Amino acid sequence: MTDERDAPELRRLGLEPADLDGHTIEQLTDYLDAGRVPADPTIDDSAGCRLALDALERLHAVTGRLMADDEAAEAEADESWVDRVLSGIVLDARSGRRVPIASSSPTADLGITEGAVRGLVRAAENSIPGVLVGRCRLDGDIEQPGAPVRVLLDASVPYGDPISDVVQRLRAEVGVRLRAHTELNVTGIDIVIRDVRDPSSWSEEDRG
């Protein structure tokens, strides 16, 4: 569990200790490395922790291959992009604002958290091999039905594919996911490519 020594680092990333229900990103990484065994209900029952674990799992799958490439080339790994992705992961764990969902029942009060929406956006990276989504922001009054909202996100991409094509595919996938799971009036999806990584020894399967 977090203590006061952990709090400043979490707050530097825009979090409070309660955002991960008292856990740190290091504890979640260790839990993932252990195969989530033994099961820890304080992690498994936390929505914020589950979002972070899912994102960490995708990040580890990519960084594992890249670190192997770096060792083979005897080059020092540049982990700045990993730090940025990790910052995005912990920010995604925040529940944030509430996004309403319409219902035909007058007594129903449905909604989805902003953190869950950011998780949907981040998961779009699964459809494009080698892409990692960093920080994601929803710009607009998402609590007001029909209000215009722009999605702003950072991404890291593998070297080799035309960046314009990767951005187009990522934007389309994010749009599909948001339309399927939310009622947000998305007026634009702005993507900034922060890093281009060289996966020189990836297999054709890794490249998709």
Residue 190 pLDDT: 97
Task: Give the highest mean pLDDT range of 2-16, 51-65, 173-187, 191-205.
Answer: 173-187
State both tokens at 46.
């936390």
Would you state the pLDDT for residue 77? 42
Class (C level, CATH) for 7-207: alpha beta
Q: What is the pTM of this model?
A: 0.61
- Residue 172 pLDDT more than 70? yes
For range 137-150, the mean pLDDT: 94
In the chain, pLDDT over 70 holds for what percent of residues?
Answer: 67
Q: How confident is the model at residue 203 (pLDDT cuts 50, 70, 90)?
A: very low
In sequence order, what DSSP letters do the residues of 69-132 get, joined into one string?
A: HHHHHT-----HHHHHHHHHHHHHTS--SEEEE--SSTT--EEEEHHHHHHHHHHGGGGSTT-E
Q: Give yes or no for residue 115 having a pLDDT over 90.
A: no
Residue 13: the pLDDT is: 40
Distance (Å, whole) CA 140 – CA 182: 15
Q: Specify the 3-state DSSP secondary structure of 190.
A: strand
Q: Answer yes or no: are the C-beta atoms of 23 and 46 closer than 8 Å.
A: yes
Supply the mean pLDDT for the chain: 76
What's the pLDDT tens digit per position in 97-107? 889 988 888 88
